[in-house]
Amino acid sequence: MTKQYLGDAVYMEDDRVYGGLILTTENGVEVTNRIVLEPEAIPYLLKYMVNTFGKETIPYLLKYIVNTFGKETINSIINSSEFGELSASKGMKGD
């Protein structure tokens, strides 16, 4: 999948080598910062977003993950112990 603009000079793309996400900031000429998130880090990113902004803020990230990596990745995230603990603490089971 191609690089997608998230806003505020931030882009996201899939890491075809390691299977994670790459976040970059760009100034219009070059990449100024680069963060590579391994697949195992994605539940922690979702947990942070839910705890900080509320669960209604994650649909766009989830849509990107499904479109990029497939539904199996979402199932893996949802079934992870980190997400399970988050879901239980936020009352998200069955949402």
Flag whether 95 is in a domain. no
Flag whether 37 is in a domain. yes
Flag whether 57 is in a domain. yes
Question: Who has greater pLDDT, 78 or 46?
Answer: 46
Based on the structure, what is the number of domains in the chain?
A: 1
At residue 72, the pLDDT reads 72
Domain that holds residue 54: 4-90
User: Taking 70 as the threshold, does the pLDDT of residue 67 lie above it?
Assistant: yes
Contact (CB, 8 A) for 55 and 90: yes
User: Taking 70 as the threshold, does the pLDDT of residue 87 lie above it?
Assistant: no
Which residues, in sequence order, are CB contacts of 39 under 8 Å at separation 6+? 18, 19, 20, 69, 73, 76
95 pLDDT tier (thresholds 50, 70, 90): very low
Does residue 7 come out as left (phi exceeding 0), alpha (psi in the -120 to 50 range) or beta? Answer: left
Q: Which residue has the tokens 């988050």?
A: 86
At residue 84, the pLDDT reads 61
